[in-house]
Homo-oligomer: A and B are copies of this chain.
Amino acid sequence: MKHDLGAHELIPREEILSRIVNLQRRMEEKEIDLALLVQNVDLFYFTGTIQNGYLLIPQGKAPIFFVQKDYGRTVLETPLKCFKMNSFKDLPHHLREHGLEGKRTGMELDVIPVALFSRIRDLFPQWEISSISDEVKELRSVKSDFEIRQIKASGQIITEVFSRVKDHLREGMSEVELDGILTSVGRSLGHQGFLRMRGLNQEMMNIHVLSGETAAISPFADIPMGGCGVTPAIGQGSSLKKINRDEPVVIDYGGGYNGYVTDETRVFVLGHLKDHFQRAYRVALNILQATEAFAKAGEYPSRIYERAVEIATREGLAENFMGYGEAKVSFVGHGLGLEINELPIISKGGRRRLQPGMVFAFEPKFVFPGEGAVGVELDYIVREDGLERVTRFPKEIVYV
């Protein structure tokens, strides 16, 4: 039914089966004999659907998806064996019937709430439960060709949306007004509607339009800039502030296509920009170029981070780099995929080598307190011989 309505492509059957096999291999290394997955994003990755249910992946046997709702949609979307479950309480019975009696069981302990965990614990007192979150996140960090295609389609939405900014940016309009127009452009191109970020309290908006001082407000989230938002209840994003001439308008936009998130930033100006902003922007582009000149599969994220800090420091911009004062963050890039906070993290502590197929957003940004911010964000695919850009290299600041 979904196909008739022009929905995005399903994950190929072979791909889902190979993801399952890869997880089973990790389970074997960790001596886990059964995995129980419930988070919708992980379900999508391993089944192809986010319909509501419990995915059981045993060691060395075929997985079964126990579906609560909607069964009819689920069987259209996943190649896996499905079983229709009426009540959560029947799960032990169904597992026994299907020979899925694990002992060492892995669960997504980074996201499962205590109350749900306790209910599961009560149903399966014999289980020794440990976390399988890291294994899932590491697997998901290396993207297949199919995934890269979705990410590129997601990036195309970004390119198109940024190309339209000059048609809509006007002096005196509010940040939220431009936010709404650009969100609408993205949606009309088939943007999936929202972006996911893993974890409690992790909220992500489609777009941040930050002009002048709002870009320099310290964010509560672990990001270099977050904006003011229209209410302390949200505390991030575009605000009711009017956009003025001669101030940097930083637009951070997330594409969303078939589940896959991209995340890029560009700077626009009505009129002219003070020299120190222009200079900092060029340093951001230099950091991008310097990174492209050496980063590739096998490189340590920590080296990429350190090189970026080195350049910022050499240019006298160390204290503005990646936030100011106590709001400074300790990374310059983050993995992208079905969630916006995936592995790898391009940070000082990043000691696990980049692998081919990893995808990350790289975002050298400079914050000037009370004044504003400039910077760029570009998404990269890690290849054996270098970094492949998901979209085009950013131009100079766009003067409208």
Contact = CB atoms under 8 A, between A and B. Distances in A.
A237 B8 CA distance: 14
Contacts of A217: 1, 73
A193 B239 CA distance: 10
A229 B73 contact: no
Interface in A216-243: 217-222, 228-235, 237-241
Contacts of A355: none
Q: Which of A69, A201, A232 has the most CB of B within 10 A?
A: A232
A250 to B, nearest CB: 15
Number of chain copies forming the complex: 2
Interface string A121-153: 000000000010100000000000000000000
A192 B231 contact: yes
Secondary structure dominating the interface of A: loop
Interface stretch (A111-119, A275-283, A358-366, A376-384): A111-119
Given A50-B233, A77-B232, 9 more contacts: A69-B326, A69-B327, A70-B327, A109-B118, A110-B115, A112-B200, A180-B183, A192-B231, A233-B260
17 contacts: A7-B232, A48-B232, A69-B327, A70-B327, A72-B218, A109-B115, A110-B113, A110-B114, A111-B113, A176-B188, A176-B193, A180-B185, A183-B184, A190-B240, A194-B234, A233-B338, A234-B259
